[in-house]
Amino acid sequence: WDTEAYCLPFYLATAPQQVAENLLIYRYKHLEKAIENAEKLGFTGGAALYPMVTMNGEECHNEWEITFEEIHRNSAIAFAIFNFIRYTGENKYLAEYGLEVLIGIARFWAQRVNWSIAKEQYVMLGVTGPNEYENNINNNWYTSIMATWCLKYTIQAIEEVKEIDANRLKEIFTKTKFNLAGETEKWQHIIDNMYYASDEKLGIFLQQDGYLDKEQVLVKDLPAVDRPLNQKWSWDRILRSCFIKQADVLQGIYFFEEEYDLETIQRNYDFYEPRTVHESSLSPCVHAIIAAKLGDLDRAYEFYLRTSRLDLDDYNNDTEDGLHITSMAGTWLSVVEGFGGMRVKENQLHLSPVLPKNWKSYAFKIGFRKAIITINVDTEKVVLTNESEHKITLNLFGNQQKLDANGSLNIKY
């Protein structure tokens, strides 16, 4: 899921569209293997579980708590399909490849939840979330919201393919033996009745059931000699602690930030970040982006340095095992989505650049649809330059701006 969640956004914005599409087609070509993987765990009816580590579609990871329980990886593949279509504006991939993958993933989630008589809601038991310092937990908030989002998106995708090519939709239904009324009715019931762990008093989403039962210690109170935890502590001690390896609840907030107001994001950030040890290459960039959104540029810059220098400074004492491609992608994400404020909303590119006080200026280049745009930011202004023959209307600091072919915009702060 590292590729889909972290690397794909980089390729979407910096490479020809086919590069990102090929990453998704790779998963499509492994769909039958993903169905076989799910069957080995007792799932039926075309449910698909993609492997955690693979070369040919078969699972190559040998830790059961990851292989069998870190199942949120399925949702990252679905989110990558959504992200590809959102960024490119082209949904033909859904009809050609994507919908079959989404159906397999949705079928997995529909079977993976179970109805709790006690809660009178659906629950998700025995999982490992993004925070791999927690295993075999119940109702991981991130896993649950991603599962129901997958169900919603698959229902939406069916309608989109129906509009694109109704005959192709019939072919997909025949190939997958899809029962439209029966399966989507079950999915909708899960969507409407899913349980999500939360704490009303703190006003936060709970990482999982029982998280607040743990002794609540902050990372700042950890002796430096104890870090990184996975090299200094026993797993028994790690699993009983409150410490978080990487963004978990905040990963979900990062993906769906438009669903939450700033106060909700701030409360969850203020609670979880002080408990996060960032002992994964996937962690600092998510925190950099959220911190920048919340206006905490000093912390955002600290997280940027953490992701950009992860291997250079060997923060986690594991560079000898190889370089971390996710921290490389995370460095780009920290600059472009963090300081640059780049988002795609309602088919339009949005930018809201800020300048860390440690820098005098910075610049980056992105391709969006058919336009190629260079963004230069300094202490006084933002300059956008269109290096293509295609004009574009974009949103800069909340205002609509037209950028002509080979034109430029000079906007003072």
Phi, psi angles (nearest 5°) of residue 383 = -115, 120
Query: For tokens 């203020």, what's the residue?
Result: 270
Residue indicated by tokens 């192709």: 168
Q: Which of 132, 134, 183, 279 is catalytic?
A: 132
Distance CA 81, CA 92 (A): 11
- The total of other beta-carbon atoms located within 10 Å of residue 390's CB is 14
Q: Are the beta carbons of 60 and 54 closer than 8 angstroms?
A: yes
Task: Of 274, 286, 292, give the one whose Cα is nearest residue 222.
Answer: 274
Burial degree of 274 (CB within 10 A; 0-12, 13-18, 19+):
middle
Starting from the edge strand earliest in sequence, which strands make up the sheet with 348-351, in order? 343-345, 348-351, 392-396, 399-403
Angle 285-287-291 from CA coordinates, rounded to 5° = 120
Cα(390)–Cα(406) distance, rounded to whole angstroms? 8
The reply to whether 39 belongs to the active site is no
Start-to-end CA span in the chain (Å) = 38
Q: Is 355 exposed, middle or buried (0-12, 13-18, 19+ CB in 10 A)?
A: middle
Return the CA Rg of the chain: 22
* CB hemisphere CA count around 50 (13 angstroms): 26
Q: How far is CA 60 from CA 2, 49, 53, 213, in A?
A: 15, 13, 5, 34
| Nearest Cα residue to 197 out of 189, 207, 188, 187 | 207
Q: Is residue 294 classed as helix, strand or coil in its secondary structure? A: coil
Give helix 325-333 / helix 297-308 axis angle, nearest 10°. Answer: 150
Please give the backbone phi and psi of residue 246, each rounded to the nearest 5 degrees, phi first.
-155, 170
Residues annotated as catalytic are 132
